[in-house]
Amino acid sequence: MALLSLSNISKIYQQGELTVPALQEVNLTVEQGEFAALVGPSGSGKTTLLNIIGGLDTPSEGEVMLNGRDMTRLSESELSDFRLFELGFIFQAYNLVPVLSALENVELIMVLQGRPEKERRERAEHFLTLVGLADQMDRRPSGLSGGQQQRVAVARALAAGPRLVLADEPTANLDSENATALLDIMYTLSQDKELQTTFLFSTHDPRVMERARRIITLRDGRIVADEC
């Protein structure tokens, strides 16, 4: 069974009397451990599709199956818990809490999950070390570079133990060196036999496209190409 399966996903926005189709009958499956990118011009539906997969938006029609559960049939509280335990999010804006250290920012999501303090600390330290920030754990975001802040965001997403990490333009604010390093780290984690974390990007960045093992191209709300 695929980790993620989308069946006939459509999304229609109503702007006054105007009907705007953002997605049209999208069908897609993603297997565990994939490192895939959604690409296409602005307005093609990439972010809308990522938001629907992440449960941040609902489709007008269709079914979203993630890890065997239909996300479109979950209540708001069930969906909130599902996102907390099954999904990781990495955004263009790092969304770190300014008054917390890097370690505390990574721990925060595990506090919400109800994990014991010792486990939270060990996992936070482990994943910050994995992303190359073993010597920066006590720094607040203001004391970190953009690349380092994005690495904290990656560590935070992974420490929660998600099946799927959704990354919306995660390299947009990074220079080439930091973007390359971050992508290499994420790809290594996707290939880790123990973690097998699945990554799905929405991107315009050719650096992401070069490293992705699968490129899914959208145009006018439809998948027009799907290449490995």
Asked if the structure places residue 125 within a domain, the reply is no
Q: What is the pLDDT of residues 157-174, one digit of tens each?
A: 989 999 899 999 888 878
Rounded CA-CA distance 17/2 in Å is 39
Instruction: Report the alpha-carbon distance of residue 223 to residue 108 in Å, rounded.
Output: 36
Pairwise pLDDT comparison (149 vs 93), residue with the higher score: 149
Residue 106 lies in a domain: no
In a domain, 133, yes or no: no
Q: Which tens digit of pLDDT belongs to each residue from 90-106? A: 987 788 999 999 999 99
- Residue 116: predicted pLDDT: 97
Is residue 196 within 8 A of residue 188, CB to CB? The reply is no
Contact between 133 and 151 (Cβ < 8 Å): yes
Check pLDDT > 80 for residue 150: yes
Q: What is the Rg, in whole angstroms, of the alpha carbon atoms belonging to the chain? A: 17
The answer to whether position 156 is within a domain reads yes
| CA dist., res. 37 & res. 227, Å (int) | 10
Count up the domains in the chain and report the number: 1
Give me the CATH number covering residue 170. 3.40.50.300
Going by the DSSP 8-state scheme, the letter that residue 171 receives in this structure is T
| Residue 221 to residue 44: CA distance in whole angstroms | 5
Residue 44 within a domain = yes
In this prediction, residue 110 carries a pLDDT of 96
Identify the CA nearest to 104 among candidates 78, 76, 125, 135.
Answer: 125
In a domain, 119, yes or no: no
Is the pLDDT confidence value at 195 over 80? no
User: Mean per-residue pLDDT for 172-177?
Assistant: 82
186 is a domain residue: yes
44 has pLDDT over 80: yes
Q: How many other C-beta atoms are found inside a 10 Å radius of the C-beta of residue 172?
A: 15
Mean pLDDT in residue range 174-181: 84
Global pTM exceeds 0.85: yes
| pLDDT band at 179; cut points 50, 70, 90 | confident
Domain that holds residue 51: 4-96+145-227
**pLDDT band per the 50, 70, 90 thresholds, residue 136:** very high
Return the pLDDT at 17: 83
Q: What is the average per-residue pLDDT within 174-194?
A: 84
pLDDT value, residue 126: 93
pLDDT in tens, 46-77: 999 999 999 999 999 999 999 999 998 999 99
Q: What is the DSSP letter of 84?
A: H
% of the chain surpassing 70 pLDDT: 100
Q: What is the pLDDT of residue 94?
A: 82
Question: Is residue 193 scored above 80 in pLDDT?
Answer: no
Does residue 129 fall inside a structural domain? no
What is the pLDDT at residue 177? 84
